[in-house]
């Protein structure tokens, strides 16, 4: 599913489209400015995103499914309708316990 970057004031659908499967990994940048990046991710059950760090602060919103998010030496389980905040530079990883649809927000830094 290819989505162009959103322009100011444009409505962008982030929920699942009718018939859309979450069983394939995808990561689509919805919008990006000098200060902010919004990414829609689908992560199939069993798929992991290895540990990494991002300079900017992030929020991760679970729109559907369930993911295990590892940071600060502990694991948080995120389910549909839940989100978490992570400070910039904190190493983290995630794995999908079920097919998941996520919205990642990154506050970019200079």
The reported pLDDT for the residue numbered 10 is 83
The structural domain count of the chain equals 1
What is the model's pTM?
0.88
Structural domain includes residue 55: yes
Name the pLDDT band for 19 (thresholds 50, 70, 90): confident
Structural domain includes residue 17: no
- Of 110 and 36, which is predicted with more confidence? 36
The answer to whether residues 33 and 90 touch, using CB atoms and an 8 Å cutoff, is no
* Longest alpha-carbon distance in the chain: 40
Q: What is the pLDDT of residues 38-47, one digit of tens each?
A: 999 999 999 9
Closest CA to 68 of 76, 80, 79, 60: 76
Under DSSP, is residue 66 helix (H, G, I), strand (E, B) or coil?
strand
Structural domain includes residue 9: no
Structural domain includes residue 62: yes
Indicate which CATH number applies to the domain containing 95.
2.60.120.10
């Amino acid at each position: 599913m290819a989505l162009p970057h959103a322009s100011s004031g444009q409505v962008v659908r982030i929920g699942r489209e009718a018939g859309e499967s979450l069983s394939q990994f995808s990561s689509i940048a919805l919008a990006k400015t000098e200060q902010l990046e919004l990414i829609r991710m689908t992560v199939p059950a069993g798929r992991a995103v290895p540990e990494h760090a991002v300079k900017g602060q992030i929020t991760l919103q679970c729109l559907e499914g369930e993911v295990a998010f590892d940071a600060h030496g502990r694991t948080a389980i995120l389910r549909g309708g839940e989100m978490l905040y992570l400070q910039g530079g904190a190493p983290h990883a995630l794995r999908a316990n079920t097919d998941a649809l996520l919205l990642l927000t990154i506050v970019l830094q200079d």
